[in-house]
Amino acid sequence: MSRAQTPVNSQRPPLDGVHSTPQSAGSGSNLTYDTQSTRLHYSPYLYQDLSNEKVMAFEDFCKTIFGFEFDQPGKPVTKKLDSLLERYRLPVTEETSRYEPFIQLANDILRECGSDYIFVRNDPKYLWGIEPGRKPDILLVHKSAWLPRNPIVQGPEVAFHPCDIISFHEFKLVRKDLRVPSPPRPTPSIKETSGTSAQKRKASTSENATEARVRKSPRPGSSSASVPRTKGSGVVAGRGLEASAEDEASSTALVQHPLIQCASYALEMLSKGFRRHVIGFLATDGQIEFLYYDHSVVLRSSPFSFVDNLPRFHQIISQLGRMPLDRYGFYSKVIPATPDCMSGRLYKMENKDRKTVMNVFEDLHLTLNNGLVLTLGNIVHHPHGLIGRGSLVVKVKPGSNLPKEWPERVVAKLSWLPSSRQPEHDILKGIEQAITSDPSAAWVSDHLPNVLHSQVYDAPDGIVASLVRHFKDDYEERRLYLLVMEGLDCIESIQDCDKLKTAYEQIVRCHRWVYEGAGILHRDISVKNLMFRRKNDSILGVLNDFDLATAVAKLDKGPTSKQRTGTWPYLAIELLDPSTWLQPPRHLYRYDLESFFWVLLTLAVDPDEFDGYDILRWSGYNHTQLYHYKKSFLSAGIKTTPLHPRYKGLKEWLTSCSRMFHSVYAKLEWESSEELNKGTVDGLITGDTFLTLLR
């Protein structure tokens, strides 16, 4: 449908806003959208993930995560195991000296129970298939992954991929005067940070732009008395991420902290494969702390001294050897990307220079609950975070098995959404029902995602239920949702300014009708969520990704999730206000309109010219910085901002919008009367006033 065919709705009374979900600043937040995937860049976000870490008693951890209780006597410990343990007890000066005796001890136990798994040394080999360097010390892998990579003790000749790993294990030595760093929080002023915006926006014409841009920039416990203390890399068993009040350590120290290191391994294992959770442990001399990571929680056990209790250690390793892969977090019933069936394939795919991230999903099958089997192709969007939705979008290869009525381009989207939140496909169904009941709204369907199939998966084991029982409301239950949809392109790949304006205006009108006609507030307006499709040689703007959308009438004005990964560079100024950060204001319709403005500005800025506000680097700033940058920008106006020659035609729109939002915040600042209508700021900002600026 062309721009001229999109009708203008008559003004209706604005709906009430809804309370914003508490913001997340961890690795799963869209704050990391343009952040490099290096340990140095990601450590502050992992620190935020770990700041809400939960600690569980060791026996409770084993019962909850491993499904194992110590109510049965273990097998008698053999003399061989005793001698292997004595080797581990010997004083050492390097953590690497612990690897061989532990591997031999643990593998001897695995052989006794007939396990298909094996412990192998990984350090100093970096994992392949990921951009940054990661090298866990010891890995638990399937024998099919180990066989081509001998030997066990010296490390693999051919690197492992995160999909090869069943669990990871990090070893450290004790240092007494540990000071755990807190992440650096630079807060430069506008003048201090002014400089050239070096990031260049690449206009993509493929489906790789459909979901996201490529990232470019910015407790009690004691050590075992049986193992001597030695100097090493700095950790005390049982010690969490408490920041020192006297001394904030450098970014490098934060990167090297053992819990940050372990979280970085879990991040890659969750992101580069397909699994629901990751398990590992941190061994500090003779003590072990088990670690568990899923999309809702980071969990750590209290320390267990295995050198002082070999029979119990024998029981634990035996249980690890017997546990099915699904218990380790793999979801084989959805996508069979498990180590037992992937290892040979990954070994052949191994990229020796590690510069290219390979697509491990190529030609894997996804079976729908209606019996239809989809063959997966290239990855459109890969998640890179611990806490959050973890949305994975993969192309579906065309084939004779696909229904004839399906479009030529199809993608599969898998997301871990909170059970408390209304799923995206239900929201879209509600919108379609509202469209059906209003004959004049038929045009809206052309500007919404085309969902071809949807389904929900239950958790494959009892871990989630056990965590809910143990932590109650402190744990956010998530379920896996699948959407099979028409493939779209991102609006930033439109090179023609007039066509971009047409698609943009269509999306704004669609967003308004969805809000007024269906009672749905989108709440995540960003560049990656403004898409387009082609129909009859016309470009049609599409409002995409309703994961964070809210059915306003069905909420009691409370948060719909414990975490929210909203896209920071496009958030309204009021949502970034430091004074309301912990208790965000109601999410109003005008906040989405303001996000539309910031999106348009981002699209129009010339990356090759000097920009005093570094607009294309806002994704790397915290909310306090963004709050001040945006307020300062509105005060100065658009006149000093360099626009790309291709988008000079957007200057009038941007100038008018900038003036309007400056007037809005000036009125809010100077008129604090209770009679002020904050939803429209006494009529200054409504759907009509915003759309009028676009004509």
Tell which wins on pLDDT, 46 or 516.
516
pLDDT of residue 148: 60
Our separate counts of H helices and E strands in the chain read 18, 23
Q: What is the DSSP string of 469-519?
A: HHHGGGS--EEEEEEEEE--EEGGG---HHHHHHHHHHHHHHHHHHHHHH-
Instruction: Report which secondary-structure segment, H or E, holds 595.
Output: helix 589-604
Q: Averaged over 445-450, what is the pLDDT?
A: 97
Q: Is the pLDDT of residue 55 over 60?
A: yes
Q: Is the pLDDT of residue 192 over 60?
A: no
Give the chain's length.
695
Instruction: Read off the pLDDT band of 3 (50, 70, 90).
Output: very low
pLDDT of residue 509: 97
pLDDT of residue 44: 73
Cα separation of 560 and 197, whole Å?
Answer: 36
Asked if residue 40 lies in contact with residue 252, where contact means CB atoms within 8 angstroms, the answer is yes
Domains and CATH numbers, the chain: 3-24+357-693 (1.10.510.10), 39-174+223-328 (no CATH)
| Dihedral in degrees, nearest 10, Cα atoms 49, 53, 59, 64 | -60
Structure tokens at 171: 């070893």
pLDDT in tens, 72-115: 666 778 889 999 999 999 988 899 999 999 999 999 999 999 99
Q: From the centroid of its chain, how far is CA 124?
A: 28
Range picked from 148-162, 220-234, 260-274, 345-359 for highest mean pLDDT? 260-274
Structure tokens at 666: 């000036």
Instruction: Read off the pLDDT band of 207 (50, 70, 90).
Output: very low
Q: Is the pLDDT of residue 507 over 90?
A: yes
Q: Averaged over 199-211, what is the pLDDT?
A: 37
How far is residue 288 from each of residues 171, 260, 304, 319, measured CA to CA in Å? 9, 16, 5, 15
Q: Is the pLDDT of residue 21 over 60?
A: no
Tell which wins on pLDDT, 29 or 180.
29
Cα separation of 137 and 92, whole Å?
Answer: 16
pLDDT of residue 460: 57
Q: Averaged over 662-686, what is the pLDDT?
A: 86
Beta bridge partners of 139: 120, 168
Asked if residue 339 lies in contact with residue 166, where contact means CB atoms within 8 angstroms, the answer is yes
Structure tokens at 26: 């961890």
Structure tokens at 619: 């994704």
Tell which wins on pLDDT, 614 or 117.
117
Strand 138-142 relative to strand 165-172: parallel, antiparallel, unpaired? antiparallel
Q: Is the pLDDT of residue 506 over 90?
A: yes
Q: Is the pLDDT of residue 244 over 50?
A: no
Between the two ends of the chain, the Cα-to-Cα distance in Å is: 17
Q: Is the pLDDT of residue 252 over 70?
A: no
Instruction: Read off the pLDDT band of 37 (50, 70, 90).
Output: low
Range picked from 142-156, 238-252, 529-543 for highest mean pLDDT? 529-543
Cα separation of 471 and 394, whole Å?
Answer: 34
Q: Is the pLDDT of residue 404 over 60?
A: yes
> pTM (2 decimals)?
0.83
* Best CA proximity match to 61, nearest among 473, 478, 466, 472: 466
**For the chain, percent of residues with pLDDT exceeding 90:** 45
Which of 43-47, 173-177, 202-206, 335-339 has the weakest average pLDDT?
202-206
Q: Is the pLDDT of residue 218 over 60?
A: no
pLDDT of residue 27: 62
Cα separation of 324 and 408, whole Å?
Answer: 38
Strand 54-56 relative to strand 298-301: parallel, antiparallel, unpaired? parallel
Beta bridge partners of 533: 540
Cα separation of 341 and 108, whole Å?
Answer: 25
Which of 382-386, 451-455, 476-480, 682-686 has the weakest average pLDDT?
382-386
pLDDT of residue 28: 62
Q: Is the pLDDT of residue 158 over 80?
A: no
Torsion sign over Cα 336, 341, 345, 347: positive
Structure tokens at 15: 């709906």
Strand 520-521 relative to strand 550-551: parallel, antiparallel, unpaired? antiparallel
* Best CA proximity match to 694, nearest among 664, 652, 659: 652
Which of 3-17, 29-43, 245-259 has the weakest average pLDDT?
3-17
Beta bridge partners of 18: 587
Asked if residue 513 lies in contact with residue 12, where contact means CB atoms within 8 angstroms, the answer is no
Residue 233 backbone zone (phi > 0: left; psi -120 to 50: alpha; other: beta): alpha
Q: If you search the block for the tokens 């000036």, which residue do you land on?
A: 666
Cα separation of 196 and 218, whole Å?
Answer: 14
Q: Is the pLDDT of residue 525 over 60?
A: yes
Asked if omega into 439 is within 30° of 0 (cis), the reply is no
| Environment class of 407 (CB within 10 Å of its CB; exposed 0-12, middle 13-18, buried 19+) | middle
- C-beta atoms surrounding 115 within 10 Å: 19
Tell which wins on pLDDT, 396 or 204.
396
Would you give the DSSP letter of residue 64? I
| DSSP H stretches of helix in 642-681 | 651-670
